[in-house]
Amino acid sequence: MHVAFLLAVFALSSAAQQIATCQAGFDWSFNKAGQSPCELASTLIQPCVGAPFPIPPLVQNFTYGGPQQGKDLPCTCNTVVYSLLSACAICQGHDTLQWSTYEFNCTTVYAGVYPLPIPSGVSVPHYAYLNVTVSPSQGLYAPSTDEIKCGPESTSSPTPTSTSGAVTSTISMNKAKSSHVGAIAGGVVGGVAGLASLALLIMYLMVRRKRKASRLEGPFYDPPLQEDERKMAIESVYVESVAQPALLYPGARGSMKLYDPNDPSTFPPPANIQAANSQRNSTQYPHYPQV
């Protein structure tokens, strides 16, 4: 069994103006004026919301639930409206909700009474005033035939009693006239808009993070060299890999021979050639030791 939470469903359904109707055979649930329990529940909830509040028809496997957290009102947190809503569900062929589940989010509960003045011209059947908090049916709304038939209808409210501490008999009507429908509908719309904004923000941050990660993890890119820089690099490579090894390689100048008077190749060169060689070596490679 699914629960249609009271105020949330009412706020959405009131725009469509759908009204619950009873099936044949449930005359006991109507008052003497012919008003159904669904109409009576709507009439008793209206003073707290300041606007018409039609009770929506139930669909298969659903029933009426209690007030949502933070939206508990005197007009809904009482056993009279609970009993009328339960009778409204029964006359449509649906189950009812346990009272303990219905009143779970109520901070103040009114047992056996309706805490506000009953609207003019409205009479509430006696069965709606039964104290379901001490019902032998474990909190399920199930009045007996005798309980339904006995007792007059009520057109005024007795002094309210509370199961959550002392409660004054006078309720501030200024507060009751404020439109809770707009607040509830605005909360629903605002919640949806907030979730959509949050989803867009999360998507934006994820895309931004992914792009940043791809830039950091990608291959490093060096900008192309300018023409002068490229020439200098080529010359540097040439000097290091070609010129220097030729100078440092052992034996590049040939092996030295000891002086032999019988071998002209060991004779010292003429003075002008030696000086020229010495000058050439010191001029081309001054940073290498001369051999």
Whole-number Å distance between alpha carbons of 148 and 208: 67
User: Between these two residues, 255 and 19, which has the higher pLDDT value?
Assistant: 19
Look at residue 46 and tell me whether its pLDDT is greater than 80.
yes
pLDDT in tens, 123-181: 999 999 988 887 655 455 655 555 555 555 555 544 444 444 333 222 322 333 334 44
Tokens at residue 222, please? Answer: 């060096």
Pairwise pLDDT comparison (8 vs 82), residue with the higher score:
82
Average pLDDT across the chain, whole number: 66
pLDDT tens readout for residues 251-272: 434 455 566 677 777 666 665 5
Nearest to 139 by CA among 74, 58, 83, 91: 83
What's the pLDDT score for residue 141?
Answer: 60
36-40, 51-55, 286-290: lowest mean pLDDT where? 286-290
- Give the separation between CA 168 and CA 5, rounded to whole angstroms: 28
- Res 186 pLDDT > 70: no
Report whether 85 contacts 53 (CB < 8 A): no
Residues 6+ apart with CB under 8 A from 149: 28
**63, HSE (Cβ side, Cα atoms, 13 Å):** 24
**How many residues are given for the chain?**
291
User: What is the C-alpha separation between 10 and 188, in angstroms, rounded?
Assistant: 12
Confidence of residue 183 (pLDDT cuts 50, 70, 90): very low
How far apart CA 45 and CA 36 sit, in angstroms, is 14
- Above 50 in pLDDT, residue 12? no
CA distance linking residue 137 with residue 142, whole number of Å: 7
Taking only the tens place, the pLDDT of each residue in 191-237 is 434 545 555 666 667 766 666 555 444 443 344 445 554 444 434 33
* % of the chain surpassing 90 pLDDT: 32
Q: Following DSSP, what letter does each residue of the chain receive, concatenated?
A: -EEE-HHHHHHHHHHHT----PPTT-GGGS-TT---HHHHHHHHHHHHHTS--PPPPPPTTEEE--PPTT---TTTSBHHHHHHHHHHHHTTT-----HHHHTTT-SS-B-SS-SSPPPTT--B-GGGGS-GGG-TTTT-----HHHHHSS--BSSPPPP-BSSS---S---HHHHTS-HHHHHHHHHHHHHHHHHHHHHHHHHHHHHHHHHHHHHHSPP-PPPPPHHHHHHHHHHHHIIIIIHHHHHSTTTT-------TT-GGGSPPPHHHHHHHHHHHHHH-TTS---
Strand partners of residue 154: 124
pLDDT of 47 above 90: yes
pLDDT class for 48, splitting at 50, 70, 90? very high
Confidence category of residue 92, pLDDT binned at 50, 70, 90:
very high
The number of beta carbons lying within 10 Å of the beta carbon of residue 161 is 15
Contact 155, 180 (CB under 8 A): no
Amino acid sitting at position 144: S
Least confident among 75-79, 80-84, 133-137, 238-242 = 238-242
